Structures are given as structure tokens and as C-alpha cells.
């Protein structure tokens, strides 16, 4: 990948700064606030906010009345606006609606990191060009490289067509790449309410134990309720963050998937534990890391387990701008025997990008 070939016409933020079109934002909330902050920092004016027709209730956002999509087109003309999508979704019906807007208007979904950190713009890409190229070369198959390149292009341009070109079939991933039917012991770091444990159970015919970390006290209640009700196998629900050492950390608890150690808002103290310490040497053959930007720390706290048992790993690689290239480099440095794959499930923006790490049978 030669990022030096890119010019500022392919960088979303430079393009928005130079455009003569009126910029409007589709959606409100936390995502919109993040995008607005970047726009303000770069001198990009957002004229209005709108919601899908039928979802406008006379409310305001940043002192502006939220328009309907129809009102926005009538006010400015579809050909005269740039739409910045400011919310996330994996629902097919919502994605279809977004694509319908994109068919009428110039639409982008700016990539802003889930956690705090630098924006993946042209300057960031050039600063990290060597690492990006090195991570790309480590990937084990053409599918992974295709996904990697398209996600990088999406991050730079905000063009959602690159996301549609970087999708994987979850059923194929679970059945073929992860060989989920053979997973008997699972460590779920970032288990939320138990949904990913339940999902794995639908694929595995031999699952007998799951160790599930969830730091949010609110969400943990739901996880514990599920764990107590699961009759097919044992679920050990742990109200703690997965970390590099045993300690106590501040946690932004919104009671949803945006809760995390980097989240803003109301803070609460939570326990942080290493997977190595919790397992105490016990066998595990699959570990999932979805810990809101703390994947490096969680990996550090499970190095002994990985070295001892060579489990399959699935590592979320979208919380920080540098995750997409730093995490493959880190895992290769620590565990060079692992083969590295990228797979990404349908989502706008580039969420659900998963680095899957597998030590093939017979590899030393």
C-alpha cells in the first residue's frame, strides 16, 4: 500500500473544508458531537441537522431545530448538500435507508474513533505509512488484505461504498475460519449481556465452559442473570475489566456498548483483572477481546494463557484509529506463530472489524 500516492482530494476533512456545498448532519447524539468537534477544530461549518422522515418530534440539537429529511431537501436541494452521517447501525433496514439517502445526496460517514485519539486523516496515514504497510504484509490471505485496504480507504474518505466492499459473512467466519463447532472453553472479554456467549453456543456442539468479563455494573446484572439461567454449560460471570494487572480503574458506565474505561460521563470504580490470574492455568481454546480500546492491556494480561494453550483469538480492531495496524503488529511480535486474518461484519461506520488469530495445527 503506497499511501504517499494519496492527495488531499481523497481526504474527507480537506474536501469538506474546500467544498462550496452546504454541509448538513444526519443524526444527533454522541456521534454527532464527536464529528462536530472535529469540524469546529478544522473550520468546517455544519448548517443543519436532520432525522429520517417520521422520526422528527420537534426537538432541537445544538440550538437548531432538527429537520426532517424531506424538509432538508426542500430547504437546500439534494444536489446542493453534503450529508455527514453521525450515527452507527448494523440493522439492514437502517443501512438501506442510509443507502437511499446516499443515492440522492452526496453522503459521507466520517470516521471518528470510538475512544479518544487522533483522527485517521491523510496526515495520520502518512505518519504511520510504514506500520500500515507492515501490518498489511502480515495478513494471511487475500480476503484479509481486501478488507484492510477498503477499510483504510473508508477511514480516509468517509465513502461508505468502501465499507460495503469490506464485508464478511459471519456464518462462514464462525463455521470455517474459527471452526466454532470444536470450541469447548471460551473466554469472553467484554461479554456485555451474554449475547456473544449465546451466539457461540449456537455454533459449538461441545461448549462446556465460558468465562465472561463485563465491567459495567449495570450490564453485569443482565449477564449474571443469563449466566445463572444457562443450563447447557457453565458460565462464570465476572464483574471486572480485562486488564494487564489486577487493580482498580475508573469506568464510564452508560449501561450500553459505549461504556468503557475511556468513556466520558458518570464514573464508577471497577475491578480490573488479568485473564491469566482468573484462569490460573486452566485450558481455553478461544478468547474474544472487545474491550473498548483496552485490547492491548487485555492481551498483556493473557499472554501466559496464549503461550500455554494457543487458543484462537478474535480481537476488535476499531476502537482507536491505530488499532487496524498496531494490533496485528503487536500480536505478531508476541506470538509470531499465529496467522492473522481480518474479517468485518456489516456495519456503518467501520465497526465490527475483527482481527482473527489462529495457530494452525502442527505449527511450532
How far is the C-alpha of 259 from the C-alpha of 252, rounded, in Å? 6
C-alpha cell at 122: 491523510
Q: What CATH code is assigned to 12-110?
A: 3.40.50.20
Q: Which residues of the chain have pLDDT under 50?
A: 256-257, 364
How far is the C-alpha of 125 from the C-alpha of 149, rounded, in Å? 12
Residue range(s) occupied by CATH 3.40.50.20 in the chain: 12-110
Residue range(s) occupied by CATH 3.40.50.150 in the chain: 178-316
Q: What pLDDT, on a 0 to 100 scale, did the predictor assign at position 362? A: 59
Using H for helix, E for strand and C for coil, what is the string for 131-200?
HHHHHHHHECCHHHHHHHHHHHHHHHHCCCHHHHCCCCCHHHHHHHHCCHHHCCEEEEECCCCCHHHHHH
Over residues 232-263, the pLDDT tens digits come to: 999 999 999 999 999 999 877 665 445 555 55
Q: What is the CATH topology of the domain spanning 178-316?
A: Rossmann fold (3.40.50)
Amino acid at each position: 500500500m503506497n499511501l504517499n500516492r494519496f492527495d488531499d482530494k481523497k481526504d474527507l476533512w480537506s474536501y469538506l473544508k474546500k467544498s462550496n456545498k452546504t454541509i448538513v448532519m444526519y443524526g444527533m447524539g454522541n456521534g454527532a458531537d464527536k464529528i462536530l468537534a472535529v469540524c469546529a477544530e478544522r473550520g468546517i461549518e455544519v448548517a443543519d441537522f436532520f432525522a429520517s422522515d417520521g422520526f422528527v418530534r420537534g426537538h432541537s440539537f445544538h440550538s437548531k431545530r432538527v429537520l426532517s429529511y424531506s424538509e432538508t431537501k426542500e430547504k437546500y436541494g439534494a444536489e446542493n448538500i453534503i450529508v455527514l452521517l453521525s450515527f452507527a447501525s448494523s440493522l439492514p433496514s437502517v443501512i438501506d435507508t442510509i443507502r437511499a439517502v446516499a443515492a440522492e445526496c452526496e453522503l459521507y460517514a466520517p470516521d471518528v474513533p470510538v475512544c479518544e485519539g487522533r483522527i485517521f486523516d491523510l496526515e495520520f496515514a502518512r505518519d504511520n505509512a510504514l506500520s500500515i504497510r507492515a501490518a498489511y504484509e502480515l495478513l494471511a490471505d487475500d480476503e484479509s488484505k481486501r478488507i484492510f485496504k477498503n477499510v483504510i480507504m473508508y477511514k480516509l474518505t468517509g465513502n461508505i461504498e468502501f465499507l460495503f466492499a469490506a464485508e464478511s459473512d459471519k456464518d462462514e467466519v464462525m463455521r470455517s475460519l474459527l471452526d466454532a463447532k470444536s470450541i469447548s472453553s471460551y473466554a469472553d472479554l467484554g461479554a456485555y449481556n451474554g449475547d456473544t456467549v449465546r451466539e457461540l453456543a449456537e455454533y459449538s456442539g461441545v461448549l462446556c465452559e465460558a468465562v465472561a468479563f463485563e465491567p459495567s455494573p449495570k450490564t453485569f446484572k443482565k449477564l449474571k442473570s443469563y449466566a445463572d439461567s444457562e443450563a447447557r454449560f457453565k458460565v462464570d460471570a465476572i464483574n471486572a475489566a480485562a486488564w494487564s494487572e489486577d487493580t482498580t480503574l475508573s469506568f464510564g458506565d452508560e449501561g450500553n456498548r459505549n461504556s468503557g474505561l475511556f468513556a466520558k460521563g458518570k464514573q464508577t470504580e471497577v475491578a480490573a483483572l488479568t485473564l491469566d490470574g482468573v484462569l490460573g492455568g486452566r485450558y481455553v481454546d478461544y478468547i474474544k477481546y472487545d474491550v473498548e480500546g483496552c485490547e492491548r492491556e487485555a492481551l498483556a494480561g493473557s499472554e501466559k494463557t496464549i503461550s500455554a494453550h494457543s487458543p484462537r483469538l478474535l480481537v476488535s480492531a476499531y476502537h482507536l484509529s491505530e488499532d487496524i495496524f498496531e494490533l496485528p503488529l503487536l500480536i505478531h511480535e508476541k506470538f509470531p506463530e499465529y496467522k492473522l486474518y481480518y474479517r468485518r461484519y456489516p456495519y456503518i461506520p467501520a465497526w465490527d472489524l475483527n482481527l482473527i488469530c489462529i495457530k494452525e495445527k502442527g505449527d511450532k
